[in-house]
Structure 1
Amino acid sequence: MSGEDYYIPAIALAISLAFKLPALRSNWRDPLLRSVCALLILAASVFTFAAPPTIDAVNRRTGIANVSAPLVYCLITAFSASCLVLMVNWRGGPAEQTRRVSRRWILGYSVVIVALIVLFALGEAPVERLRDFDTYYANTPYLGQMIGLYLLAHHVAAVVMVSLCWRWSLQVRGWLRVGLVIIVSGYVFNLAYDAAKISAVVARWLGHDLDDLSTYVAPPLAAVGALISATGFVVPLVCQRLSDNWQTWTTYRKLGALWQEVQMCTHSCTPGVRMSWWSAAELRVIQRESDIHDGFLHLGPYFDRSIRGGAYERALADGADAATACAVADAAMVAAAVQARSADPEGRTIGDGEESVFDTPDGPRDLLRISHALRHSPMVQTVRQQAALSAASGPA
C-alpha cells in the first residue's frame, strides 16, 4: 500500500469525527459519545502513523531507528481497547458495572502498551524497515515478543468484538442491529488481517518465508476492516438521530390539521409566536402543541359535551374502537366549537362554563388522533357543516 492508501482512510475517519464533535461539545459527559470520538481519533491515528511516509518522517525526526513500530503497535492496541470500551458503554447496563468493565479493559490494554514500549527498549532494531518490520525482526530477542504481544492483543479484541456484536445483534432490531452486523463484517477483515500477520510471523519463527502475507495482504485488510467497523459504530447513532428527526417532523406535520382548526381563536385573542426557519423540530412540535392548547382554552366556553357524546356513540356504532371513537368525538366537538366561536366575534361566553379546559389525558398522542379525525373523518365534516348552518341561522 502507498501512502495515499493509508491517508485516505485516515481522512475519512477524521471527517466522521468532525461530524461528532458538535455533539461531544454539547454533551461531553456522555461516555458513549466520548468512546465514539476516542475510537475515531485512534483509528485515524493508526492509519496516519502506519503510512510509510509518516513512519520515515517520525524515525528521522526522533533520530531513533524504527521507533514508529512501537508507536503504531501502541496505537493499534489503544484502538482495540477503545472498541471494547465503546461496546461496553453502547450496550449499557448498570452504570457502576459499565464503568468497572471499561476500567478493566483500559487497564489490561494499558499494561500491554507499557510492555510493548519496554520490549522495544530492550531489543535492538538498527536497520530501518518501513513496510516489513514484523517479519524482518520476528526472530530478534525482545522485538519478536513485542510483535507477538501486539498481534495477540489485537486478535483477542477482534474475537471478543465479533462474539459480543453477533450475540447482541440477535437480540435487537432496527438500526442498532444494522450497525452491529456492519461491525461484525468489519472485524471479519480484522481477523483476516490477524491471520495473515500471525501466519507470516510464525513462518519466520519456523524458518519459512511468508513475508508477502504481512507486507502486501494484511495492510489492505486492516484498512477495509477499520473503515467498515468505524462505519458500524457511527451508522446507528447517526441514522437513529435522523429517524428521530423524521418522526418529530412527521408529528409536526400531522398536528397541522388541528393546529389550523384552532388558529382563528388563537390569533384573534393572542398573537402566535413566530419561529425562525432554523428552529429545531422538537421546538416546533412543542410550539405547535402549545398553540393548540391555547386555542382549546379560548374555545372552552363553546365546547358542547352533547355533541361529543353523540359523535362518540355514532363512531362506536360505525365500528370504531374506543380510542378512535374518542378522537372522532373530540374532533367533532372542536369543529363545532370553532364554528360557534366564529359566529361570536365579540367573544360572548355561551354554555354552562363547565368545559373551560379541553382534556387530553394522553397528551400529544391524543392530539395526533384528533388532528387525523379532523382531516379524515366524514362524521366530523358533517358536524362542522351542521354547526356552521346553526351558527349562521342563530342570533348574532
Structure 2
Amino acid sequence: MHDSSYYVPAAAMAVALVIKGPSVLRGRRDPLLRSAYALMLLAGLVFFFAAPPTIGWVNRATGVSNFSVAIVYSLLSAFSASCLVLLINWRGGPNTRLVSRRWIAGYAVVIAATVVLFALGDAPVERRRDFDTYYANTPYMREMIVLYLTALAVANVSMTVVCWRWALKVSGWLRVGLLVMSVGFLSNIGFAAAKLIAVNARWNGGNVDYLSTYFAPTLSAAGELVCAIGFCVPMACQRIGDVWSTWSTYRRLGPLWRELRPAGDHGHRAVRIAWWAPAELQVTQRESDIHDGMLALYPYFDPEVRARAYDAAVAAGSGPDRARAEADATMVTAALRARADDPEGKVVSAPSSASAKAGGPRDLVGMSVALRRSPVVATARERIEAGAGTASRERIG
C-alpha cells in the first residue's frame, strides 16, 4: 500500500463516525450500537496510526524510536476485541454481556503485555514498514510481535467460526453478510499468517520479508474492506427491501384508491403530503383516502352481493383469503354503481343504512389487486353495468 492509501479508509471511517454520532448519543444504552461505533472508531485509528507518515510523526513527537509500534499493535488488539464484541451483541442470546466482558478482559491483558514488552525491549532504529522482520530476533520485541500476531489470528479464527455457525442457522441477507464477513476474517488470518511466516524465516536465517512488508498489508486492507461490506450488507439490503416493499404496496393500492377517491371527496380539499415524503407516509395517505371512500360507501354495501361473489370466487378455485378480497372488491364495485344511481342520497339518510357496516377488517391490497385482475370482479362489473343500462332505458321509456 502507498503511504497515502492508509488515510482513505481512515477518512471514510471519520465521516461515518460523524454521521452516526447523534444516533449513538441517543441510543448510548444500546450495546449493539455502542460496539458498532467502537469498531468504526478503532478501525479508523488503526489505519491512521499505521500510515508510515503518522508513524514517523509519532516517533518524532514522543522522542522514542518506534513508539508508534506499541500504539498500532495495541489498536489492532483492541480492534480484534471490538469485532468479537460486535458479533456477540449482534447475535444476542444468553450470557452476552458476560462473554463480551471476558473477551474485552482477555485483550486488555494482551494490550498491557504489548506495552510492557515494548518497554523492556530495545529498538533504537526506526522501521516504518518492516519492524516485524527487522526486530524478529530481538529479545522482548520478538515476543511482542508473536503476541500481537497470535492474538489477531485467534480473534479472526473465532469470528470466522462464529460467522459460519451463525450463517447455517439463518437465511436471506443476514446469511450473505455473515459469509462475506467470513471472507474478510479469513483475509485477516492470511495477514497474520504471512507475518508469522516472514518472522519465522528470520529466525531460521531466511528472508521472505516481502510477505510481511508488502503482501500482508494488502491482505489486511482487503480484509477490513470486505468485513465492512459484510457488516453493511444485511442492514442496507434490509432497508432497501423494506422501502421496495412499501412502494410496492403503494403501487398495488393504486386501482382501489383510484376507484374510491371520488367517493371520498366530500367537497373539501384534503391535506396532501409532499411527493418527496417517505414511502410509509405515502402509503398511509393512500390508505386514508381509501378508508374515506369506503366510509362514504358503507350505506350502499350489500352483503348478498358479497356472499354471491365469495361463492363464485371459491368455485373458481380461489383460497379463502383471496376469495374474501374478491368478494369485497365486488361489493365495492356494486356500491359505487348504487351510489351513482342515488344522486339525492336517499340511502344515506335511511335509518337502516348504518347496519351495512358489518364485515370486519378488509385486505385493501388484495381488494385492489382483485379489482384489476379477478375474473369474478370483472364479470360482476359487467353484470352491474348491464343492469344499470337496462334500468336507465326503462326509465327513459
Amino acid of the residue matched to residue 256 of structure 2? Answer: L
Q: Which amino acid aligns with 1:57?
A: W
Q: State the match for 1:145 in structure 2.
A: 143
Secondary structure (helix, strand or coil) at the match of 1:284 reads helix
| Counterpart contact for 1:179–1:233, Cα < 8 Å | yes
Alignment-mate amino acid for residue 245 of structure 1: V
Contact 1:132-1:214 within 8 A present in 2 as well: yes
Aligned to 1:379: 376
Q: Give the superposition deviation at 1:44.
A: 2.2
Once the two structures are superposed, residues 243-285 of structure 1 have per-residue CA deviations (whole angstroms, 9 ceiling, x without a partner) of: 1111111111111112222211222266433112232112222
The whole-number CA distance in structure 2 between the counterparts of 1:334 and 1:192 is: 65
Show the counterpart of 1:258: 256
- The size of the alignment, in residue pairs, is 389
Q: Is the 8 A contact 2:337 2:384 kept in 1?
A: yes
* Match in the other structure for 2:331: 333
Which deviates further from its counterpart, 325-334 or 258-267?
Answer: 258-267
* SS of residue paired to 1:292: helix
Q: Distance in 2 between matches of 1:332 and 1:63?
A: 85
Please state how far the C-alpha of 1:324 moved relative to its aligned partner: 1.4
Could you tell me which residue of structure 2 aligns to residue 133 of structure 1?
131
Alignment partner, residue 190 of structure 1: 188
* Contact 2:136–2:203 under 8 Å retained in 1: yes
**2:122 equivalent in structure 1:** 124
Q: Compared with structure 1, are the counterparts of its residues 22 and 295 closer, same or farther at alpha carbon in structure 2 (3 Å cutoff)?
A: farther
* Amino acid across the alignment from 2:48: T
Q: Quote the offset at 1:296 in angstroms.
A: 2.1
Say if 1:303 and 1:62 are closer, same or farther in 2 by CA, change over 3 A: same
- Runs of 5+ in structure 2 lacking a partner? none
In structure 1, what is the Cα distance between the partners aligned to 2:26 and 2:358? 38
**SS of equivalent residue, structure 2 residue 356:** coil
Aligned to 1:272: 270
TM-score (norm 2): 0.90
Please say if 1:102 is aligned against 2:100: yes
Higher RCO (Cα < 8 Å, 6 or more apart):
1
Task: Point out the more displaced range, 378-387 or 18-27.
Answer: 18-27
1:287 Cα deviation after fit: 2.6
Equivalent-residue separation in structure 1 for 2:145 and 2:182 (angstroms): 25
- 1:383-394 matched pairs, under 5 angstroms: 383-388=380-385, 390=387, 393=391
Identity %: 55
Instruction: Decide whether aligned partners of structure 1 residues 107 and 342 sit closer, same or farther in structure 2, where only a CA change above 3 A counts.
Output: farther
Q: Residue 59 of structure 2 contacts residue 66 of structure 2 at CA under 8 Å; is this kept in 1?
A: yes
Distance 1:272 1:346 in 2: 23
Instruction: Compute the RMSD of aligned alpha carbons.
Output: 2.4
Q: Is 1:2 equivalent to 2:2 in the alignment?
A: yes
Unpaired runs of at least 5, structure 1: none
In the other structure, the counterpart of 1:291 is 289
Partner of 2:345: 347
> 2:321 — aligned with what?
323
Instruction: Tell me which residue corresponds to 1:356.
Output: 357
Assess if the C-alpha contact under 8 Å between 2:300 and 2:353 holds in 1: no
Whether the aligned pair in 2 keeps the contact of 1:296 and 1:357 (CA below 8 Å) is no
Counterpart of 1:169 (choices 167, 170, 192) is: 167
3-state SS of the aligned residue for 2:289?
helix
C-alpha contact (below 8 Å) 1:183/1:228 kept by paired residues: yes
Distance 1:146 1:103 in 2: 24
Residues 55, 87 of structure 1: CA spacing in aligned structure 2 closer, same or farther, 3 A cutoff? same
- How many Å separate the matches in 1 of 2:147 and 2:96? 27
Alpha-carbon contact 2:157-2:186 (below 8 Å) kept: no
| 1:357 to 1:109, Cα distance in 2 relative to 1, 3 A | farther
Letter in 2 for 1:146: M
Offset at residue 19 of structure 1 (A): 6.2
Please give the secondary structure, in 1, of the residue aligned with 2:266. Answer: helix
Q: 1-side partners of 2:117 and 2:40: how far apart? A: 27
Q: 1:291 to 1:98 in 2, by over 3 A?
A: farther
CA contact (8 A) 1:300 1:358 kept: no
Counterpart Cα distance in 2 of 1:34 and 1:277? 35
> Aligned equivalents of 2:267 and 2:235: distance in 1?
43
| Letter of the structure 1 residue corresponding to residue 239 of structure 2 | R
Alignment correspondent of 1:46: 46
Letter paired with 1:265: A
* Superposed displacement of residue 352, structure 1: 4.5
CA drift at 1:42: 1.7
Partner of 1:368: 365
Tell me the SS of whatever aligns to 1:355.
helix
How far apart, CA to CA, are the structure 2 residues paired with 1:184 and 1:16? 23
Q: Secondary structure at the match of 1:273?
A: coil
Q: CA deviation at 1:313?
A: 0.9
Question: What residue is the counterpart of 1:81 in the other structure?
Answer: 81
Contact 1:13 1:40 survives alignment (8 Å):
yes
Flag the 1:340–1:24 CA change in 2: closer, same or farther, 3 A: farther
The alpha-carbon deviation at position 194 of structure 1 amounts to 0.9
Alpha-carbon separation, structure 2, partners of 1:270 and 1:28: 47
Q: Greater CA deviation, 346-355 or 123-132?
A: 346-355
Partner SS for 1:111: helix
